[in-house]
Amino acid sequence: MTRPDASLPAWEPKNLPPPSRPNRRRFLASAAAAATTPWVLSARGRAAEDQEKGEAKPPITRKIKLGLVGCGGRGRWIANLFREHGGYEMHAVADYFPKVAEQAGDALGVEKARRFSSLSGYARLIESGVEAVALETPPYFFPEHARAAVEAGLHVYMAKPVAVDVPGCLVIDKAGKQASAEGQCFLVDYQVPTDPHNREVVKRIHAGGLKQITLIDSWYLASQFPDPPLTDTIASRLRHLIWVNDVAIGGSYHVNACIHAVQAAMWIAGARPVAAVGESRRCRPDPHGDSRDIYSITYTFEDGLIVHHRGRHVNDGTGFDVGCYCYGHGAAARIGYTGRAYVRGGPKHYGGGPIRSLYEAGARRNIDTFYRNIVRERFENPTLRDGVDAALATILGREACRRRTRLTMKELLAENKRLKVDLRGLET
């Protein structure tokens, strides 16, 4: 099975001309107050309910001009899904590497004049006449790209995690809320909540199927990514998922990959954690990036709920498995990225079923939801909450492990620490 974190890179960020670049300090300050208030994770919105009821795909009355920012493996792959949907026109592409942008343009039928590269390629793509953007770059660049797209009045479809640090999450928070206020769609592409069996299980849990949730156990077990020696610039880290090994560029294995399982646990809990404590270590051979690849984290929630998460990202031959067990009184439940979803015992017993091909099936559902929301002018953008809260929770877990202490969400938000990446030597 293809791993759900298999998104390849492409890039661009900071040197926009002054007219299109608002004051960052003022932007972050206005977002901070909203982000300090915990969100309750939402359902997936009316478009997902349409799908559950078996409503047919709305007729394709027009094509949405889409720009792809990030043309690596994941970017090219998801661009094909957009094209197969029928409601999108691949209008422009951007990637840090010119050759990658050209190859994607050839494959997707994009005119040469709308193929952009270098760090500022995303800005030229935004000005090329697109109506929406699909962001598939390493997450360090997401806040800048999403902010610029929303400022330009575009709809935004973006991969997870939405950011690698708290300031980045605040930018996404602000941009997503601005999109909702101004009639723009903003969708974060999590797949677990799109699966019909997962949805039914969580619905039954929230309806009292476990009486009281006593414990949640989540896990993400997978292999590692290539981690070659560092070079003079970060250009060598921007391909083949190497950047997942680098905390400031990719967030770390926990923030980039384990986030699937943590988000699933938070979906069940209906809240984000208030504290975390844990341990992590590097076990991959000859590591060069600073991310750890083994995690054992305990999250606590406002009501006392405990979520234990374990992550393993090494090549040990045991394969790929992502899921979440939830225990209650007289019943237990499971959801996940793999395996089966079910509720066993209790008043809401559900035999469930297999979670099939979620990597592709979930992306297709989200692409369809994005189209429905645009053409039907639905701008609630519920996945924004999932995206920001899950990113903050995994950043909290990463930092608690790194510091080997109990860290609260309140402390993390108050620190508001920004991770920096050295962009010197890159083509702007």
Cβ atoms of 363 and 269 within 8 Å: the answer is no
Architecture of domain 192-359+383-415: 2-Layer Sandwich (3.30)
Burial (0-12, 13-18, 19+ Cβ within 10 Å), 32: middle
Q: Residue with structure tokens 């107050």? A: 33
How would you label 237-270 residue by residue, b for 16+ Cβ within 10 Å and e otherwise? bbbebbbbbbbbbbbbbbbbbbbbbbbbbbbbbb
Neighbours of 129 (CB within 10 A): 11
CATH code 3.40.50.720 region(s) in the chain:
18-188
Burial 372-384 (b: 16+ CB within 10 A, else e): bbbbeebbebbbb
- Using alpha carbons, select from 186, 165, 187, 204 the residue that is nearest to residue 419: 165
Residues of the chain with CATH 3.30.360.10: 192-359+383-415
Q: How far apart are CA 107 and CA 53, in angstroms?
A: 35
> What is the pLDDT at residue 55?
56
Q: Which helix (H) or strand (E) holds 75?
A: helix 73-85
User: CA 192, CA 420: separation in Å to the nearest integer?
Assistant: 31
Is the Cβ–Cβ distance between 348 and 342 less than 8 Å?
A: no
Cα–Cα distances in angstroms (integers) from residue 409 to residues 76, 266, 406, 415, in the given order = 36, 14, 10, 10
Rounded Cα–Cα distance for residues 21 and 266 (Å): 34
What are the angstrom distances between the C-alpha of 251 and each of 99, 222, 266, 279, 338?
26, 17, 19, 17, 23
Fold category of 18-188 in CATH: Rossmann fold (3.40.50)
Q: Which residue carries 């476990």 as its tokens? A: 210
Distance CA 201, CA 194 (A): 12
What pLDDT, on a 0 to 100 scale, did the predictor assign at position 236? 96
In a structure prediction context, what are the per-residue pLDDT tens digits for the chain, which is 428 residues long? 333 333 323 322 333 333 333 343 333 444 444 444 444 444 444 445 555 555 566 678 899 999 999 999 999 999 999 999 999 999 999 999 999 999 999 999 999 999 999 999 999 999 999 999 999 999 999 999 999 999 999 999 999 999 999 999 999 999 999 999 999 999 999 999 999 999 999 999 999 999 999 999 999 999 999 999 999 999 999 999 999 999 999 999 999 999 999 999 999 999 999 999 999 999 999 999 999 999 999 999 999 999 999 999 999 988 899 999 999 999 999 999 999 999 999 999 999 999 999 999 999 999 999 999 999 999 999 999 999 999 999 999 999 999 999 999 999 999 999 999 999 999 99
Structure token pair of residue 60: 């394709």
CA distance 137 to 118: 13
For 427, residues 6+ apart whose C-beta sits below 8 A from its C-beta are 96, 117, 118, 119
Residue 53's pLDDT is: 56
SS3 36: coil
